[in-house]
Structure 1
């Protein structure tokens, strides 16, 4: 997931069918589950990252940013419950109409029928795609290979003379 720009409250996940203000947000440069807890640093503006949110049988909600544990809280009020058809992603609720939707893009959303532990989350792999070489990289590589060719040719000519 990539958020274009971070600023005020930007809703990522709403669990109340848009009826309440509670849910998973970015707030500034952090993840936050409102009204429960700050959940650690979010990737910077325009930076791809993976947010993983789990809820186990003891109602503990755990948040992982790029596979690394960020925070948790006991959800005794059931605010982070995926039961039914109540989840909405990247859209503000009707309760406040504050325009808190997050702009950006999502590669995919996955759901499981069991809570993931820290090892399961780590096994999901890296959210960051391999870098694509820029044209300058290729130009520098070709210049280096050309220079090696010139040096090898001069050595060969010196050995013959």
Structure 2
């Protein structure tokens, strides 16, 4: 009897413990050490991280921190783009929820862009931002539109035309994420076996 109860309790604890995972792959821009950000890709290529806090486009852009930094299309900080027509730059961040319950997933954070951006989760628009200063951050959150396998976060940045002094970039920060792991079939089997044995023993004692 005690063995069966222990088995059922162990299986239940295994299922409960699977509810505290964070979403692997949701990382801030420029979080990794170095001047190249391989997590956020632009047209399939790695992005470049701003390095010099005292040089243009700072202080116009919100200041970098130890946990997130601005990323750019090229290694030349402050390089000017799009002198005569608006242009778009799509930064992509991928993450995988294989082995997790996609319906349980959620995240929150914030983002900013020069000049403006719309963020999409698997093709569904989540929100927009229209600035790059300290007061220009926009909230970034989702609790739906997740897929059970590969997922895509795409930040479509629009850089408005300007002849000179016209950099572009993206900044993303996540503050939390949650997802529940799908228990292994063996966990369910152990739970069911324990519960059936408990029930059988209970009926036997009544008899």
Q: Normalising to structure 1: TM-score of the pair?
A: 0.38
Would you tell me which structure has more strand in proportion to its own residues?
2
Q: With a CA cutoff of 8 Å and minimum separation of 6, indicate the structure with the bigger relative contact order.
A: 2
Q: Normalising to structure 2: TM-score of the pair?
A: 0.32
